[in-house]
Amino acid sequence: MKIRVLVIVLLLVITSCASRKDILYLQDADANYSSKIEYQNATIQPNDILKITIETLEPLAALPYNRGVSGGASANSPELMQLTGYLVSNEGEINFPVLGQISVSNLTTRQIEDKIKELLVEGGHLNNPNIVVRLLNAKITILGEVNAPGTYTFTEQNITVLQALGYAGDLTINGKRDDIIITRDVNGVRQISHIDLTSTEFMNSEYYYIKPNDNIIVNQNDPRVKQSGYIGNVGTVLSVVSFALTLTILLSR
């Protein structure tokens, strides 16, 4: 009976430990070492903040079409640029100087550049202007079993889910690598997807590249869930096993 109890305790310890296949990333990488990259530029959504700069050979000609903070290095601080940027309304529009309301929803920054240039040229406002559009408040939120959960901003046009998790200091050893949850709002519809970091398959999905306002959730793996439940942490279990083994030896003498 005593031996049976000891065996049960040992089995609980073994089943609470993570295996190699639960921890390693991209385990089939050798079989999928080469694939074509398809970049996915993010589209503009309501509540995004845009920085739009109009440049011409004659700077004074572009002055009425530019707005922002002038003077000193502080003018280029992210906080001030967001305050003076163009906030996209719930209807997906911005109020642009002289041109008025412009619809930018579901357009990439490059498409917005082309659209504003067309409006300025065809409307006889400016001759061959250069338009630069940047998204100022691109951010993602990463929660769960990562070393530094929180909300992170980025300026790149394309970042991968691996880069995003790198912002949060990578998954902890207790993170569930084969079921990362990503939530994304697309045209007013919330989408939820699950990806497996232990396989390269997610690299071919639309969720390989993170988009602004995505949420990434890393749940606890099974050993971690068991540790928080009736089994307790591994150190405690080992102490119990050691005590049980010592007691068994003493009683069997």
Residue 240 lies in a domain: no
Residue 100 lies in a domain: yes
pLDDT of residue 82: 76
Q: What is the DSSP string of 82-135?
A: HHHSEEPPTTSEEEETTTEEEE-TT--HHHHHHHHHHHHHHTTS-SS-EEEEEE
pLDDT of residue 7: 52
Residue 125 lies in a domain: yes
Looking at the structure, tell me whether residues 102 and 178 fall in a common domain: no
Contact 183, 191 (CB under 8 A): yes
Looking at the structure, tell me whether residues 25 and 80 fall in a common domain: no
In the chain, how many domains are there?
2
| pLDDT string in tens for the chain (253-residue length) | 555 555 555 555 445 455 566 678 888 777 666 677 777 788 999 999 999 999 999 999 999 999 865 555 455 666 777 788 999 999 999 999 999 999 999 999 999 999 999 999 999 999 999 999 999 999 999 999 999 999 999 988 889 999 999 999 999 999 999 999 999 988 788 999 999 999 999 998 899 999 999 999 999 986 655 555 555 555 665 666 666 666 666 666 6
Looking at the structure, tell me whether residues 57 and 131 fall in a common domain: yes
Q: What is the DSSP string of 132-164?
A: EEEES--EEEEEESBSS-EEEE---S-EEHHHH
SS3 3: helix
pLDDT of residue 159: 93
Q: What is the helix (H) or strand (E) element at residue 71, kind and residue range?
A: none
Domain at 176, CATH number: 3.10.560.10
Task: Domain of residue 163: give its range.
Answer: 20-38+138-219
pLDDT of residue 208: 94
